[in-house]
Amino acid sequence: MEKLSVKNTGRIVGILFFVVMLLWYSGYATIGGVIDAPDYLATIYPNKVKVMTGVLYELLEAAAVMGITFLLFPILKRQSNTLAISYMGFGFSKLPCYYWLCCAPCY
């Protein structure tokens, strides 16, 4: 497989940032009306399709964030190994937060 150039990697990362913003907004707009209700526990089951769609958006957002992390690693490694590993660590530290956010309403 051919390595991506820095220019192409930058384009892909930019597109992924845009995708992350769209998925976050779509997920919040879909789930927000249900979760922000005063009696949200009673409204989750009747709106289960809406909640599952929002959760799917959030999981896709998590995948896009991980994609950004993996794509930026070689570029950041050229500048500083510590910076690259730190960015990768912070990227992975978001995974439990996404799991809690997406899967907790489903149980």
Q: How many structural domains are present in the chain?
A: 1
Q: Whole domain around residue 14: which residue ranges?
A: 6-106
66 in a structural domain: yes
Q: How many CB atoms lie within 10 A of CB 21?
A: 12
How confident is the model at residue 91, as a pLDDT? 79
39 in a structural domain: yes
Tokens 């192409």 map to which residue? Answer: 8
How confident is the model at residue 35, as a pLDDT? 81
1 in a structural domain: no
Query: Whose CA is closest to 49, among 62, 38, 36, 33?
Result: 33
- pLDDT average, residue stretch 27-52: 85
Buried b (16+ CB within 10 A) or exposed e, 63-101: ebbbbbbebbeeebeeeeeeebeebbeebeeeeeebeeb
Q: How far apart are CA 61 and CA 55, in angstroms?
A: 10
If one compares 100 and 6, the residue with the highest pLDDT of the two is 6
